[in-house]
Amino acid sequence: MSAPALPLVDSHCHLDAPEFDADRDAVVARARAAGVTTQVIPATRAADWPALADLCAREHGLHAAYGLHPLLLAEHREAHLPQLRDRLAYSPAAAVGECGLDYFVAGLEPELQRFFFRGQLEIAHELGLPVIVHARRAVEEVVHTLRAFSGLRGVVHSYSGSEEQAQQLWKQGFMLGIGGPVSYSRAHRLRRVVSQMPLEFLLLESDAPDQPLAEQRGQRNEPACISGVLDTIATLRPESRDVIAAATTANAQRLFNLEH
């Protein structure tokens, strides 16, 4: 792996997950050594919001986002939406999320997913915050839903849609989060999107502890590994690794209003 370009932003990392309880400080240290100076940590359920706030307050370079993930639908309650609005009114946050739609996992009631997704989009729109969107086998519906919220900004993380859907998202000002899946040689459509997309809409992400690089398949993923994501992207595009690194960092800083 080539030397890291500095600084890098991991735009999607679940550093608060229990998989990191035993060595979280070491994970952060390895990220910093790899040039990852900043991480955005999206919450997935209301019960985790206080601990996430404490984690980000303790460690420089960690930025919380608060949301309700569709995969944890059974844990969400209608009251969590006004609680989310109240939290965002007084607690620093980079974004609303992780929120969205997931039609891959069976048993997640679509209408209830839509209720919580739209509720979080309304809060983000009202407060002028960006959104971090999960869209698995639901990209087309996500694109159409976002159109109802003019001026809303955000990122569709772990992008898995088509070139045409990506173009629709860019027209709405949305970025694409790209992580470990781009390193898989059989990810032809994703690689084609990444190779041709406007650089101004590209974000690097780990989604740690999930979605490791192809060479680390089956292992716990870490934010340090976005250096490898960057390496892969640099083989797909005409720009140099350093140019891509600088652009993705600037994109994240602009979207999430991060300090430079």
List pLDDT tens digits, range 150-206.
999 999 999 999 999 999 999 999 999 999 999 999 999 999 999 999 999 999 999
pLDDT band of 260, cuts 50, 70, 90 = low
> Could you tell me the CATH number of the domain that includes residue 162?
3.20.20.140
Residue 3 maps to a domain: no
Is residue 142 one of the residues assigned to a domain?
A: yes
Q: Report how far apart the first and last C-alpha atoms of the chain are (Å, whole number).
A: 26
Evaluate whether residue 2 is within a structural domain.
Answer: no
List pLDDT tens digits, range 118-131.
Answer: 999 999 999 999 99
Does a structural domain hold residue 184?
Answer: yes
Q: Angle, to 10 degrees, between the axis of helix 110-127 and the axis of helix 80-90? A: 20
Q: Residue 177's domain spans which residues?
A: 8-256
CA of 207: how far to CAs of 42, 86, 114, 158, 240, in Å? 10, 27, 23, 8, 24
Q: Is the pLDDT of residue 238 over 50?
A: yes
Model confidence over 209-226: pLDDT tens digits? 999 999 999 999 999 999
Residue 169 within any structural domain of the chain: yes
Q: Is the pLDDT of residue 2 over 60?
A: no
| 205 preceded by a cis bond (ω within 30 of 0) | no
* Residue 213 CB contacts under 8 Å (≥ 6 apart), including other chains: 180, 183, 221, 225, 228, 229, 232
Closest CA to 33 of 224, 206, 245: 224
Contact between 52 and 41 under an 8 Å Cβ cutoff? The reply is: yes
Position 109 in a domain: yes
Q: Residue 62: inside a domain, yes or no? A: yes
pLDDT at 101: 98
The number of angstroms, rounded, from the C-alpha of 165 to the middle of its chain's C-alpha atoms is: 18
- The confidence score (pLDDT) of residue 1 equals 47
Alpha-carbon distance values, 38 to 7, 113, 126, 148 (Å): 8, 30, 26, 31
Tell the residue number behind the tokens 């955005």, with chain if given.
Answer: 40
Domain total in the chain: 1
pLDDT at residue number 91: 87
Q: Is residue 97 part of a domain?
A: yes
Question: In sequence order, which residues have a C-beta less than 8 Å from that of residue 105 and are 6 or more positions away?
Answer: 71, 136
